[in-house]
Structure 1
Amino acid sequence: MGSELNQLDRFADEPTRQMLRGLIKRKQKYENYARQTFRWQAAAIICAASFCLFIAAKGLGQSGFLSEMLNDSIYLFWILSAAFAYSTAYYFKKKEEKAEGEYHKLRCEIIQKSTDLWPQPEMWKSRETVFKLMKQQYDINLYFESK
């Protein structure tokens, strides 16, 4: 991360580089939470599907099925596993939404303040280099505010 931004010494001043580093960190944090959310959602679906398959294999139409289900600990295991995976996915989804908001807010701030960050006309040309680098290296769009 640092080497690409260090080559921006001639294109941006230190406060601007700090903002860009912060933006990259927020994007990585957001992407990490998105991956965790996806993993736990997949785990919840797998647990729920395997529970349904286990019930189907045991025979859904048997008499006394409910009492058997309450007495067998494997059913409780699958139910708790699915509930845990779902609640963890929900937790990471909330974290992901918060991180996305922070990332988007800083990204929009950089876009709005670009005239202040690159004030001179010759520096304004270097702005394009910075924006291209951020797009190519980190997939961060600094051209438009929309997500």
Structure 2
Amino acid sequence: MERSIFPESYELDGTTKKVLLKIIEKKEKYDKLKNRHLLVMWFTIFAAFCYFIWLYKHIAIPYSHSFAVMFSVYVQETLNLYILLLIIGAFGYMNVVRQKRDKAEKEFHDLRCEFIDKSKDLFGNSETWNVRHEIYNTIKNTYDINLFHQAK
């Protein structure tokens, strides 16, 4: 992984390499959690939608004459309880993954901003300062990480 990001012609010290690799690691973690959150969110929405359509067709329409009958038919089937618990659990898991995603995004953004602030110290000499632009472009194109500005 280091060879594709840091060709041998670039003379970078170990600290700069480690920080750049850590930024890439945080970005990959954030992307993984973002994709997981989207997957769980769409599963929850789809499952809830299908379940409520099924409830409407099989319980609400046939027994709409009495709420008490509708409720008793709903409670008689234990599968309804399990499906409802599954949807509530998926909603809770979706919120847990969202919190992890937000935390990973904050860690990634903070580390990226700190690197941008300290880039003058990390790329101190003129040789590495000249290749800094090429390294930033490589990271931007490969990992979609903008190290030129602090704005997202």
Q: 2:138 aligns with which of 106, 111, 133?
A: 133
Shift of 1:11: 4.0
- Percent identical among aligned pairs is 27
- How do residues 29-108 of structure 1 correspond to structure 2 at under 5 angstroms? 29-61=29-61, 62=63, 63=66, 64-108=69-113
Aligned residues between the structures: 147
Pairwise CA RMSD: 1.4
* Structure 2: gaps of 5 or more residues: none
Matched letter for residue 37 of structure 2: T
Runs of 4+ in 1 over 3 A off after TM superposition: none
Q: Secondary structure at the match of 2:60?
A: coil
Partner residue, 2:151:
146
Range with bigger deviation, 96-105 or 5-14: 5-14
Q: Report the Cα distance in structure 1 between the residues aligned to 2:93 and 2:115, rounded to whole angstroms.
A: 33
Q: Given residue 110 of structure 1, which amino acid in structure 2 is its aligned partner? A: F
Structure-2 separation of matches of 1:3 and 1:14:
14
Change (3 A) 1:49 1:93: same
**Which residue is equivalent to 1:17?**
17
Alignment partners' CA distance in 1, 2:52 and 2:138: 49
Aligned to 1:114: 119
Q: Which has the larger radius of gyration?
A: 2
> TM-score, normalising length from structure 2?
0.90
